[in-house]
Amino acid sequence: MSSSTAKPLKPRPKHLNLMKIRLPLPGWVSIMHRLSGAAMFLAIPLILWLLDKSLGTEIGFDVVKELLALWWIKLALAGLLWGFLHHFCAGIRYLMLDMHKGIDLASARMSAGAVYLVSIPLTLLAAWQLFL
Amino acid sequence: MKQRIIVGAHYGFRDWLGQRATAVLMALYTVLLLAVLLVQKPSDYLSWYGVFSPVWMKIATLTFIACLLYHAWVGMRDIWMDYIKPTSVRLALQVGTLVWLLACAMWALKIFLQ
């Protein structure tokens, strides 16, 4: 990447203090989209195990049913559901942006807000069904 | 053998498009699954087993899993490329990711074809 005629550069200024950097809303949607994706990647074996157990035998089904009755398991599942719903809604927003719909700054900020306005109530609805 | 392009323009386009295509397919399956669950309302082992016993549902579910593999691979590869600079560490993580996903795929085959 360096040219033979380049002058020696001073080290470039760099600011990586995450606690001080203020991210705009679309930025939050973006990093949460990535984090939720990574979290779901790690959770795939868990989900597969639940499916394997519950679909395998009637006893396995009962085991899973008992597990899902535990409050902290429900909480973890609700968290995973939020990750999924956020990833899903943010993904729809990205597909729209890929098609060049709503790419101006004002629309992009509004759609970023919409991702939360849709995913959070849906998560609460799903959680309510879980904890019912 | 035709020269593989790994830098410059057009490299990455296939994965970019594949990630979007698999996203749409998975979204469709999600709606399908939700509809099936709302209609059949499985409450015990037999009805739950019944959700996934039709062949078309097994095929749809395994297609979803196949899409998930590719989609997750592109996503995780992007994450490693963005944050892991040392090549040997990145390579190890990429191989690990692929092994993880392939193992999940084989487990899914076992679950839905047993």
> What average pLDDT does this structure show over B86-94?
95
- Where do the structural domains in chain B lie, given as residue ranges? 13-113
Evaluate if residue A66 carries a pLDDT over 80: yes
What end-to-end distance do the CA atoms of chain A give, in Å? 60
**B77 contact partners, CB below 8 Å, separation of at least 6:** B15, B94, B97
Between CA B90 and CA B83 the distance in angstroms is 9
Pairwise CB contact (< 8 Å): A61 & B45: yes
Whole-number pLDDT of residue A17: 83
Alpha-carbon B41 to chain mean position: 26
Tell me: the pLDDT tens digits for A48-60? Answer: 999 999 999 999 9
A34 touches chain B (CB under 8 A): yes
Best mutation target among A1, A48, A68 (most B Cβ atoms within 10 Å) is A48
Q: What angle do CA A65, A53, B26 make, to 5 degrees?
A: 95
> What average pLDDT does this structure show over A68-81?
93
Tell me: the pLDDT tens digits for B4-47? Answer: 666 666 678 889 999 999 999 999 999 999 999 999 999 999 99
Whole-number pLDDT of residue B5: 65
- Where do the structural domains in chain A lie, given as residue ranges? 25-41+71-131
Pairwise CB contact (< 8 Å): B75 & A38: yes
Pairwise CB contact (< 8 Å): B49 & A55: yes
> What average pLDDT does this structure show over B47-71?
96
Whole-number pLDDT of residue B13: 87
What's the mean pLDDT when you consider all of chain B?
92
What end-to-end distance do the CA atoms of chain B give, in Å? 41
Whole-number pLDDT of residue A28: 93
Between CA B66 and CA B19 the distance in angstroms is 12
Show residues of chain B in contact with A58, CB under 8 Å: 45
Show residues of chain A in contact with B30, CB under 8 Å: 88
The ipTM is 0.88
Between CA A110 and CA A117 the distance in angstroms is 10
Task: Name the helix (H) or strand (E) containing B99.
Answer: helix B87-113
Q: Residues B61, B112: contact at Cβ < 8 Å?
A: yes
Between CA A84 and CA A33 the distance in angstroms is 9
Q: How confident is the model at residue A1 (pLDDT cuts 50, 70, 90)?
A: low
> What average pLDDT does this structure show over A98-104?
91
Q: What percent of chain B has pLDDT over 70?
A: 92
The second-level CATH assignment, the architecture, of B13-113 is Up-down Bundle (1.20)
Helix/strand/coil (H/E/C) assignment for every residue in chain A: CCCCCCCCCCCCCCCCCCCCCCCCHHHHHHHHHHHHHHHHHHHHHHHHHHHHHHHHCHHHHHHHHHHHHCHHHHHHHHHHHHHHHHHHHHHHHHHHHHCCCCCCHHHHHHHHHHHHHHHHHHHHHHHHHHHC
pLDDT higher at A112 or A21: A112
Whole-number pLDDT of residue B111: 95
